[in-house]
Structure 1
Amino acid sequence: MLDELLRLVEKGIYLYPVKAENKQPLTAHGFKDATTDAEQIRKWFGSGAAVGVAINLEKSGLVCIDVDNNHGGDNTNGTHELSELTKMHPDLHPNHCEYIEATQNSGIHMFYKRPQQDIKKKKLGSSIEVLVDSVVIAPTSNYKAIKGDIWDVTNYLPKWIYNSSETSFNIPKGTKIFYGQKTRLAKGLELLIYPEAVGNRHNALISFIGALFYAGTDIEVIKYLVYEAADKMNFPEIEVDNMMSWAMTRAAQQIQKD
C-alpha cells in the first residue's frame, strides 16, 4: 500500500489519512493537511495499520462525482439516476470518464479535471453529488480502481454542471429547511429534469397536469410546464394537446359545479 501512495504523491496527488471504517480525518485539520511530501506519507501510512486514504481534490486539481447506491429503492438508486441523467447529458456517461473507482457501498467515484474557476459541492440528484474538497480513494479497503489512473485525468468536469445556476435558499437566519413527503406536484416538476421512460410517461404527465390544476396554477404556466415536460420525454404533441383539452374541460366542469 505504501508504494502505491508514494507513487500517487509523486504524481501530484495530495493525500491525508482517515479512519477506514468511518472516513473521519486522522489529522487536526483534515483535508487541509493533505500533502505530497513522501516522508510525511511514510509516517502516516507506514505502520501497516488499516488506515484509509483520502485526497484533497482542490490541491490535486480534481473533482469527484459520487454516485451512491446505498440508499435502496429505484427513487434513490444512483446508477438509475445516472442512467437517466446521461440521456440528457451524454458527456456524463462513464465511458467518457478517464478514472473511475468502485466504492465500498457498490457505488462509483468518477474523477474529472478541475475547471479554472471556483466551484462548490453540488447535488445532481438524490444519490449523485459533485465533491470538490475531499474524498476517500483506493487503496483504502473496499475501494478499487476500475478504469484508468487518477494522475492521467485530463478531461474537465462538464461545463453544464458548474455553469448552471446555484440551487440555494435565501432564508432568515435560524430558519430550518427540510424535505417533507414528496407530493404529486413535486414528482411532476421532476419530469423537467428526470423524464419518465416511454411506458410510464403518459400516467406521469396526466398526474402532473392534475397536480398543477389542483394547486391553482395559472393556465399559461400550466401549458408551459406541461409542454416542456412532454418535450423532455419526446411525447407526441398531439397527445399532449388532447390531454390539455381534456384537463381544461374537466376544470371548466368543476368550476360550473362549484
Structure 2
Amino acid sequence: MKEFASLYKAIKLAEWEYGLFPLMDNSKTPPKGHHGYLEATRDQNIIMDWFQNNPYYNLGLRLDTSHLLVVDVDIHDSTKNGKDSLMKLQRQGKTLSPDTYIEKTASGGLHYFFKYNGDKVRKVDNWPGIDLLTDFTVIAPSEVDGTAYAPLAGRTLADIQPAPNWLVDELSTNSLNGASGHTYTTRLKKYTGRLLDEMVQGTNTGDRNVWLTKMAGRMFSVGADPKTVYNMLSVINDSFVDPSLPSKEVNVIFQSILKRESKGVH
C-alpha cells in the first residue's frame, strides 16, 4: 500500500459523510488505545491526527451510521465456500446485484455493499461462508498479508444499490409472529440469550483475558463451531472490550480453549 493511501481515501469518504476509523497496518485490528468502529468519525482533523504518524494504517468503515450492509462472501474455507452458497441462493431466485459497489478482499473473497436502513446485526455464517454485516467492515485500500482490498470494475461507494427485499427480510429481527417483545424475551431468553447479552455488555475492568476466556468456553459449551467462536471473539474484543486486547492475545485465548475442548471430545 502506498504511503498515506488510507488517509487520502478516508478524507474523501468523510466528505461524503461516511464514518471512518483506523486499523493497524497489515491488520483488521484497531491500534492500541482505539475502540474500533465505536469511535468512527467524519471529522477530518481527527482523521489527519490518526494517520499523519501512521501512514500505512488500514481503514475501517462504520456501516450502521452510514446506513449500509455488507455481504461478506468468504472462499478460503473449502468446507464453507461462500461462492457455492451464492449459487444455491441464485437457484432459489435470491440474487445480489452485480451493479452495486463490490470489493475483492485480501483473502480473495468479495464484499457486496448495499444501502440498508434496517436492524443492526452481525450474522456470521448466515449461510456457509457468507456473513451479513451492518456494524463495520475493512475497506480498500487496506492491505493484509501483502494483498489489498480493491474495488471491482472501477466503482466507488456512489454506485451502491439498495439491498434486495429478500435480503432485508433475512435480516429482520422484528418478526415475532405477533408476540410482544416482552412476551418473546420472557419465553425464549435462556442460556444462549443470557450469553449474548453478557457479550454485548462487554468489560472494561478486571482481567480482560479471563473474561474473554470465559466467553470462548461458553460459546463452545453451546455447540458453536470453532470458526464461529474465533470470529465472535474478535468481534467482541474489538467492539465490547475497553481497551481491546491485541489480536495475538485473542488468538492465544482461542487456541487454549480449543485445545481444552478437543481433549474433552477425545
Task: Quickly name the TM-score band, shorter chain normalised.
Answer: 0.5 to 0.7
1:185-231 Cα shifts (integer Å, max 9, x gaps) = xxxxxxxxxxxxxxxxxxxxxxxxxxxxxxxxxxxxxxxxxxxxxxx
Point out where structure 1 has 5 or more consecutive residues left out of the alignment: 181-258
Residue 261 of structure 2 corresponds to none
Q: Please give the secondary structure, in 1, of the residue aligned with 2:102.
A: strand
Counterpart among 95, 98, 101 of residue 98 in structure 2 = 95
Distance 1:28 1:4, change over 3 A: closer
- Match of residue 51, structure 1, among 57, 78, 85: 57
Secondary structure class of the residue paired with 1:76: coil
Alpha-carbon distance change, 48 to 65 in structure 1, aligned in 2, over 3 angstroms: same
Aligned to 1:113: 115
Q: Which residue of 1 aligns with 2:88?
A: 84
Asked if structure 2 preserves the Cα contact closer than 8 Å seen for 1:66 and 1:130, the reply is: yes
Contact 1:8–1:151 (CA under 8 A) maintained in structure 2 = no
- Give aligned-pair identity as a percent: 28
CA shift digits 1:17-74 (9 cap, x unpaired): 0123331112532101111111111111233532110000011121101001121x2x
1:13, 1:151 within 8 Å by CA — same for their partners in 2? no
Structure 2 unaligned blocks of 5 or more: 176-187, 196-217, 226-266
Question: 1 CA distance for matches of 2:140 and 2:82?
Answer: 20
Query: Which structure 2 residues correspond to residues 209-248 of structure 1 after superposition, within 5 A?
Result: none
Deviations 1:63-92 (A, max 9, x none): 101001121x2x411112112212213432
SS where residue 162 of structure 2 aligns? coil
Higher RCO, 1 or 2 (CA under 8 Å, sep at least 6)?
2
- What is the aligned-residue RMSD (CA, Å)? 2.6
SS class of match (2:132): strand
1:1-258 aligned within 5 A = 1=5, 2-26=7-31, 27-47=33-53, 49-71=55-77, 73=78, 75-92=79-96, 94-96=97-99, 98-115=100-117, 117-122=118-123, 123-141=125-143, 142-147=148-153, 148-153=155-160, 155-164=161-170, 170-172=189-191, 176-178=221-223
- 1:179 deviates by 5.1
Structure 1 position 158, deviation (Å): 2.1
Shift of 1:177: 1.6
Residue deviations 1:129-186 (CA, integer Å, cap 9, x gap): 1011101000112111114211332x2222223324769x854357732158xxxxxx
Change over 3 Å in CA distance of 1:170–1:48 after alignment to 2: closer
On the 8 A contact 1:70/1:77 being kept in 2, the answer is: yes
